[in-house]
Chain A
Amino acid sequence: MLVQRVLVLAWVCLLGSVPLVADDSPVRFESDVRPIFKTHCFHCHGEEEKIEGNLDLRLVRSLIKGGDSGAGLVAGQPVESLILQRVVKGEMPPKGKRLSDKEIATLTKWVEQGALTARPEPEALPMGQEFTEEERHYWAFQPVTRPSLPGVKQLALVANPIDRFLLAKLETEGQTFSPEADRATLVRRLSFDLLGLPPTPELMTEMTADTRPDWYERLVDRMLADPAYGERWGRHWLDPVGYADSDGYVEDDPVRPWAFRYRDYVIRSLNADKPLSEFIIEQLAGDEVLNGALPHASEENTDRLVATGFLRMAPDGTGAGGVDQNTARNDVMAETIKIVSTTLLGMTVGCAQCHEHRYDPISQADYYRVRAIFEPALDWKNWRDKNARLISLWTAGDYETADKNNKELAEAQKKYEMDLDAIVNEVFEREVGKVAAEKQTLAREAKPLAADKRTPEQTQLYKDLPSLNVDRGSVYLYEQKRVADLNKANEKNQADIRAKRPPDNFVACLTEPTEHVPPTHLFSRGDFNQPRQVVPPGDLSVLPEPNVVPENDPHVTTSGRRLAWAKHLAGGQHPLVARVLVNRVWMHHFGRGIVATPGDFGRLGEPPSHPELLNWLASELVSSGWSLKHLQRAIVTSTAYRQSSKQRPELVALDPDNRLLGRMSVRRLEAEAIRDAMLVVTGSHSQAMYGPPAPVNPDEVGQIIIGKATRDGNGLLVAAANDDPDQYRRSLYIQVRRSQPLGMIEPFDIAATAPNCELRRSSTAAPQSLLMMNNAAVLRFAERFAARVAAVAGDDDSRQAEVAWQLAYGVAPVEAEVAGARELLATTKAHFEQVASAAPAEQKPTVPPAQQALAVYCQALLSSNRFLYVD
């Protein structure tokens, strides 16, 4: 009774006061109720093979009919309706989950209004999921149409159509754009956004002096043509791709020595402004484009193969010991699907691996349709391990040389083993000498015998004198120097021989065997041990033309599945691909996507702030022939992009998150850009592009540094980071070892690699500050910076203050800054002088006090907000 009264009261309260469904708005099953059931209930009541309690919630008529416990609901009578009683009491969903008040209110209201549907329900539901009209009409699944340009009041503020979309919205809110940023700010902003590097003082001077009206557009073109552009935007692309130079998955995290070729392919492609359509097709199906042509034949052919490295980026534990191989193989497929879907579709397809997607119209069958596209190349039943997938670029001559070399090596090894055996025999004879004379023969006879073939007497003999057990493996314990010398000589000899071998030259790529078309099964609950029906390859079925992928295309030697899907994705009609791509580009220019969740355009993602602008950008990308540079030129020459970032109180009050873009956002540099900026500012930047990455290693406390860390026998560091030029390569050329993130950049929110990074955070935390204050690599940059400044400015402290400031920020310091800097230089210099004069002769610092002081100032500049942020 009590419960009944509480229930009634609860409903009275909910219905009376929850303003979530406006009173006059009709509540309909398809649009309001079904999403609640889909999220919380369908899993047991409709989707699975076994329907719990025989209650199917997917159709209103089956809901009314109810299940084992009786009728599910009585239209118009919420209190009498069983499912509502169960829901309000918290009995359903089970296991202590509970619907929110808002959801309960919606259900109640719906029943009260008579449990109405938007249209007559279908006669029968097909196996699996039926999408409603509402789901099919979701904005992201609609074709991209070029929107008409909205009218704006302040036409003078419109530099290109982008501005119209933004300004129109601002104007309806009674707002407008902020004024243009000053020239120095613009140059610095542009330089970081397009190149990921700070502008040089020379460029700053040149730009400030340029009086031509189109100085800005000229600068944009110049930067788009700079090779550093491909490095910057390549790194952006590598985030969702999950680029790494190691396999991950298992503890020892094996290195992927050939991954760099894919990274280089990305950089080259972006620099060449390769149409993104082609870029996508090559990455998904470059091998099928080649269609059997040799990768050696041309650079273009090699590139097509290298491009498929995209599909080899997932963490990979196949072939590793102690790993269940079937699990590892299926994990590679699942992670590859996640990488592909978050990069190109912006949908969380992976959520449908085990059951129907809880929020979006992606059926479990859809997941396996996508999987079927990759199954011929990543067939878990006929797995090819990583090495078997490498393709060599060796020529016939290379192979011949290598053959000869192998023979030479085998001979050297044979000779070594004979020498070693000679020592073993000598030691054995010596040990036998310790045995009583009458038993020596017995000991010799036992030597070649396996333990279980020896007589009890022999066994006892070996047990009493364990040192008789000498063999190749243990002989070093008896004859340490001789064996060590022999080993050393042998190693040197073999290394010399190996040095004559042609260097390995592989491509790590995805290919598929010819005419190999394994079936793809839907796995019940995602478990590969519970295969169900065979699923054909295809795109998500809620999208237009989902069935464009053939089972086996006769025109290519392989199945042609990836090629067909890639062409479909890049065909210009796909509703998601272009939107997802332009959204990412926008995000990197403004700090936030038009859809703020770049990897999730579904119901749980953020809705677009400017849907029409998103459409326009997508359509512009496609109609420009998929030119990324064209798109970016439009973006960075818009008035919106050129605004000042200064906060205006009335704008901030209206739009604290700056979604309307009534000003530019102040953004912190990404981890790599911070280090790269230090490289440039300190004059350290190595210009070397491409090639194998600079290796990383743990230093003596476990912090990951660049370079080989050489330790003595006690583990203490002998030579840490040496001064080889690898130290000063851009951050995207530093090895990305999943288990060993580079210590100097890691605290600044590097890209996740398990498996990929849809969105980077931008955190502010004390460890970042400590790093700037004390990290050895940062201090080394400060010292190099000081040396560079001293070389220009001599020992005039005002001049030093100015030169360093100019280098770090691209502008001249104001008077107060110079005064502050001079004071810092003077006090620290006095301190260092005092320390130096007090120190005994052999401990005098090698750097003069003035330069030590200058390094402190330089370090402060590198640590400052002005350095770390772009405004």
Chain B
Amino acid sequence: MMTHSLNTPCNSRRHFLAQQGFGLAGTAFAWMLQQDSARAEAVRPELAPKVFDLKPKPSPQPPQAQAMISMFMQGGPSHLDLFDRKPALEKLHMQNFPGEIKYDNAAESSAKCWYGPWKWQQHGQCGMELSELLPYLANVVDDITLVRSMRTGVNNHGQSIYSLHNGRITGGRPVVGSWLTYALGSENQNLPAFVVLTDPGGLPVLGTDCWSNGWLPSLYQGTVVRPREPRILNLDPPPQLAGLPQQRYLEFLRATNQRHLAEHPGENDLAARISAYELAARMQTDAKEALDLSQETKATQEAYGLHEDATRDYGSRCLIARRLVERGVRFVQLYTGTQNWDHHGAILTALPAACKKIDKPSAALVSDLKQRGLLDSTLVHWGGEMGRLPVIQNEKNIGRDHNTYGFSSWFAGGGVKGGYVHGETDEFGHHAVRDIVNHYDYHATLMHLFGLKPENFTFTRPGGNGSLLDGQEGKIVTAMLNSPPV
């Protein structure tokens, strides 16, 4: 009865130990090894700096999402004119608002309610109601969860963007993409793990803080893929060196390094650096390939709107996002131009124009991911840092002021339900009132989808452990998940 374990196949490490380590006889050895993962070795205090890397790491819990694409709608799309119809507002159109309003800009504010002129319709099998400004999204409603009760509660762009990116209203903290790549690494070592696609019109309003690694190692900073060459700084050569000059440079470098190595035979580090240049060149090739949209079929290009002026730019970035995720990139963040959605005025013309740029490509991304079988493992987020107020700002040129107390965002894939609407705002759409999703609830939910436990997800720093939630009690929004935690 004791001897059966003699024939138990050992995995290679255990086998290695048996050969090299202690030379123990089979029975007892096998029994002892059952505990070897929990061996209490002396833990050395850290003598050399800890080494961080981007190698893929398993999620502590079984994950549903393996990658995330976040389409950040900077400026704050008007939920009242796109996602969240309010009959009460229609009734009080152009009459004084009957309650308290939290204004941001008092000078231009008015107390008059305003109901946009756009038509609303139910779509899909689920019957999700959207305004006519989002005709393409209407085609994929059965694949998305629409959250109508988002809230950050800090009434300006900066603080609200910070909240959604890093959990708090100030900068200098690691953002979601940094946390995910710190925890899980990346499936592709030749591409950046956390990619940021910025708008050709400029950086987001908070600039580089939006992809800050904060106090995480700088390895986890987002890498910007720029709208122009060189697309990735330090990865791509500047245009004048691309192609032949850099190729010749690498050839010469290799030859001269080889001659140097021949003078120093056996120096492993010198040989390793020669290989490092080769790896670097491979990374360039892979990145170039990932960004090359000419490899896509005409049908795909058209679906993303690459053949239309209004959608070409955003469509290209959505398509790049899909290609990156397909290649194992963990987190892709897309930004729109600074003022695309900040409709303090001229909402009648500016909102339709903004929708036209964004709607077709973002819906195409969902269907394309689904068609390729990537949607189940890719969490897609679409939303801004705020919605708009139910009352008019600027009566001469109608617009709406900021509202971070209740707004809408949508999610798809990665374990999120399709055809589902979550939460609601009050009858005028000013405050989220039911099933509120604060920024920290959103963070807790997305971490859960990646198999991470929010409370365990920390980084040791002076003054204690830092975390994305930073002590805020984020609730996982179980109602929007395909398989809620048990």
Contacts and interface: CB of A to CB of B under 8 A. Distances in A.
A124 interface: no
A825 to B, nearest CB: 10
Interface stretch (B32-40, B144-152, B356-364, B421-429): B32-40
Contacts, number: 291
B278 to A, nearest CB: 9
A824 B266 contact: no
A17 B47 contact: no
Given A764-B272, A774-B237, A864-B257, A701 B226 contact: yes
B107 A478 contact: yes
B400 to A, nearest CB: 14
A856 B249 contact: yes
Contacts of B341: none
A817 B256 contact: yes
Given A96-B38, A466-B109, A817-B259, A764 B463 contact: no
A796 to B, nearest CB: 19
Interface stretch (B228-236, B303-311, B316-324, B375-383): B228-236
A773 B287 CA distance: 15
A865 B461 contact: no
Instruction: Give 10 closest A-B pairs by Cβ, nearest first.
Output: A714-B202, A251-B172, A715-B203, A702-B208, A97-B40, A477-B107, A769-B280, A701-B224, A10-B28, A96-B38
Given A758-B48, A863-B253, 13 more contacts: A12-B28, A13-B27, A40-B40, A666-B269, A702-B208, A714-B202, A714-B203, A715-B202, A766-B283, A774-B236, A856-B245, A865-B270, A868-B273
11 contacts: A101-B22, A252-B171, A351-B45, A474-B105, A478-B107, A645-B264, A716-B202, A755-B462, A856-B241, A857-B252, A864-B256
B156 interface: no
A828 interface: yes
A697 B108 CA distance: 37
Contacts of A250: 172
Contacts of B48: 758-759, 761
A522 to B, nearest CB: 21
Contacts of B221: 702
B276 interface: yes
B90 to A, nearest CB: 21
Interface residues of A, number: 122
Interface string B462-485: 111000000000000000000000
Interface of A: 5-6, 9-10, 12-14, 16-18, 39-40, 90, 93, 96-101, 248-253, 315, 317, 323-324, 327-328, 331, 335, 348, 351, 358-359, 463-467, 469-470, 474, 477-478, 597, 599-600, 604-605, 645-647, 649, 652, 666, 668, 698, 700-703, 711-716, 739, 741, 746, 749, 752, 754-755, 757-762, 764-771, 773-776, 779, 816-817, 820-821, 823-824, 827-828, 831-832, 835, 845, 852-853, 856-857, 859-860, 863-866, 868-869, 871
A249 B40 contact: no
A463 B31 CA distance: 78
B44 interface: yes
Contacts of A767: 234, 280
Nearest to A606: B47
Contacts of B27: 6, 9, 13
Given A101-B32, A746-B218, A770 B234 contact: yes
A711 B202 CA distance: 10
Contacts of A754: 461-462
B110 interface: yes
Given A251-B170, A766-B280, A864 B248 contact: no
A739 B263 CA distance: 40
Contacts of A827: 244, 248
A741 B213 CA distance: 12
Contact of A856 (B222, B248, B261, B272): B248
A852 B240 contact: yes
B339 to A, nearest CB: 9
B246 interface: yes
Contacts of A17: 22-25
A640 to B, nearest CB: 19
Among B23, B106, B274, chain A packs the most CB atoms within 10 A around the CB of B106
A251 B215 contact: yes
A16 to B, nearest CB: 8
A556 B208 CA distance: 52
A774 B242 CA distance: 10
Contact of A769 (B224, B233, B263, B273): B273
A648 to B, nearest CB: 9
Contacts of A703: 233-234
Contacts of A100: 39-41
A824 B248 contact: yes
Among B41, B47, B207, B246, chain A packs the most CB atoms within 10 A around the CB of B47
A13 B28 contact: yes
A714 B338 CA distance: 7
Given A17-B22, A251-B172, A604-B42, A821 B252 contact: yes
A10 B39 contact: no
Interface of B: 2, 21-25, 27-29, 31-32, 35-36, 38-42, 44-45, 47-49, 51, 96, 101, 103, 105-111, 170-173, 201-205, 207-208, 211-212, 214-215, 218, 221-224, 226, 230, 233-238, 240-241, 243-246, 248-253, 255-257, 259-261, 263-267, 269-270, 272-274, 276-277, 279-280, 283-284, 337-338, 461-464
B146 to A, nearest CB: 31
B42 A647 contact: no
B111 A761 contact: no
B270 to A, nearest CB: 5
Contact of A348 (B42, B45, B245): B45
B467 to A, nearest CB: 13
B256 A866 contact: yes
A433 B167 CA distance: 45
A16 B110 CA distance: 90
Nearest to A852: B240
Contacts of A97: 38-40
Contacts of B274: 865
Contacts of B173: 251
B202 A779 contact: no
B210 to A, nearest CB: 9
A702 B106 contact: no
B433 to A, nearest CB: 22
A166 to B, nearest CB: 21
B273 A714 contact: no
Nearest to A752: B49
Given A251-B172, A647-B267, A666-B270, A831 B244 contact: yes
Given A466-B103, A715-B202, A860-B252, A317 B42 contact: no
B279 A766 contact: yes
A764 B277 CA distance: 10
Contact of B276 (A358, A768, A832, A856): A768
Nearest to B339: A714
Nearest to A473: B106
Given A467-B109, A599-B47, A715 B207 contact: yes
A348 B44 CA distance: 11
A100 B27 CA distance: 17
Nearest to A712: B202
A714 B339 CA distance: 10
Contact of A824 (B172, B241, B252): B252
A647 B205 CA distance: 56
Contacts of A90: 35, 38
Among A466, A739, A746, chain B packs the most CB atoms within 10 A around the CB of A466
Contacts of A769: 273, 276-277, 279-280
Contacts of B171: 251-252
B442 to A, nearest CB: 21
Contacts of A853: 245
Contacts of A335: 462
Contact of B245 (A10, A752, A832): A832
B218 A741 contact: yes
